[in-house]
Amino acid sequence: MVSRQFFSFALIGIAGFACDTGVLYMLAYGLEVNLYAGRILSYLCAVTLTWWLNRYFTFNSLDSDNKKAAMMVQWSRFAACNIVGAIINYSIYAALISLFALFYQKPVFAVAIGTLFSVNVNFFLSKKYVF
């Protein structure tokens, strides 16, 4: 059975996916940033959004003082823990857009496949080391 936390994490992941893809498309097709560099920037936007949403909704990680410094430490831990998932995600994404014209023309599919392969790793590390 899927836990409430994993379900919430996955739903927030969908918002992260939308952010990731939206920013990637804006950068690649609006500002003509290449798909590799654009994905790094779009991922950073998505990781920030998902950290914030998971902080409040999935893990109920409200600090009593809620100071900006404590939030930055937590964001840093979240980003660091999710580097493992990011490497998996980006490697799959980069391989797909490099090898297949369909994925290069429609990178949303490569983003989706990379995301599916990294969600479990990100959830485990976030739950264990961040929240």
Q: Are 73 and 129 contacting, i.e. CB atoms less than 8 angstroms apart? A: no
Report how far residue 32's alpha carbon sits from residue 22's, in angstroms, rounded to the nearest whole number.
14
Q: What is the pLDDT of residue 1?
A: 60
First to last CA, the chain: 22
Amino acid (1-letter code) at residue 123: F
Task: Spell out the per-residue pLDDT of the chain, length 131, in tens.
Answer: 669 999 999 999 999 999 999 999 999 999 999 999 999 999 999 999 999 999 999 998 665 556 777 888 999 999 999 999 999 999 999 999 999 999 999 999 999 999 999 999 999 999 999 98
- The pLDDT of residue 38 is 96
DSSP 77-93: HHHHHTHHHHHHHHHHH
At 26, the amino acid letter reads M
Measured distance CA(49)–CA(65) in Å, rounded: 21
